[in-house]
Amino acid sequence: MKITAAQRTVIMKLWGRVCKDRGWKASDREFRLGKFGEIIGRPITSTDDIGRIDECTKLMKELSALLGVDVQAAREADDLTINRARVLFHQICGELVPCLELYIADVRGYLTAIMEDKNRWWKIDRPARDIKITDLTARPIRKWDFKTRSMKEFPSQLEQLQYTLAARLNTLRNQAGDSIHDMRTRAGLGCNCSKCISARNQSALQNPGEKSLADQAAAEEAAAEDAGDDACFEQEMHKEAQAFGDCPF
């Protein structure tokens, strides 16, 4: 999955700062792609070749570390599960939870019960509080497989929670007779189905003052190539720093 325009903006802004700090030529495309490929561990022919989650995270954190002003960035560059946890965290709290609230009265209790059961919470050192989603990690679970006589890798705690919630939400939605469009619209999430995208583009055509999705994407692309602006950069970095403080679970 390709990186987004916002991610590209942050990367180009960081690259500009690194080049200024080290005396490199920021406009040298071949040099830039070579450095990016060296950081993520494989050659690339375009910035669009960078993976949206792990590779993008590693690149941004390594560039921040090169500036020598962010210790946390250096830590996350070595441990990509920190950002993977952040992504899963937002998917669960930002997309699955609002939809579950349409069908379940006590979503907090529902999530707590699932997390306790899957992670044997009450059998771990007799905890004095309920489990929270921030207690879970995105580190793969490795167990000994007696059949193959080797270590086997299983989905992380957060991935298992996401899979379980997505499956149960799908069952609840079908029982209620809702389409995905109906569910997401009622949850206030907006919908990206083909009909909704077509409707938004048609609205843009009928109202020349509004930009179509294609025009917006082109504008974002151009802004990214120009290295974006400081406000966007600071906003993205602030979002990452505050990510785990926004969910009530």
Secondary structure class of 142 (helix, strand, coil): strand
Q: How far is it, in rounded angstroms, from Cα 90 to Cα 145?
A: 32
- Compute the distance between CA of residue 226 and CA of residue 232 in angstroms, rounded to an integer: 13
Q: How far apart are CA 247 and CA 187, in angstroms?
A: 17
Q: What are phi and psi of 231, to 5 degrees?
A: -60, -45
Per cent of the chain over pLDDT 90 is 23
In the numeric block, the tokens 């071949």 are attached to 30
Q: How far is CA 170 from CA 141, 148, 174, 195, in A?
A: 26, 34, 6, 21
The structure tokens listed for 142 are 């490795």
Residue 228 in 3-state DSSP?
coil
DSSP track, 164-204: HHHHHHHHHHHHHT--HHHHHHHTT----SHHHHHHHHHHH
Task: Tell me the average pLDDT across 159-178.
Answer: 94
Average pLDDT over residues 183-206: 81
Q: What are the residue ranges spanned by the domains of the chain?
A: 5-78, 85-232
CA 87 to centroid of chain Cα atoms: 3
pTM above 0.85, yes or no: no
| pLDDT bracket for residue 121 (50, 70, 90) | low
Whether 243 shows a pLDDT value over 80: the answer reads no
Q: How confident is the model at residue 210 (pLDDT cuts 50, 70, 90)?
A: low
Query: Residue-wise over 203-224: b if at least 16 C-beta within 10 A, else e?
Result: ebeeeeeeeeeeeeeeebeebb
**Average pLDDT score over residue span 90-109:** 92
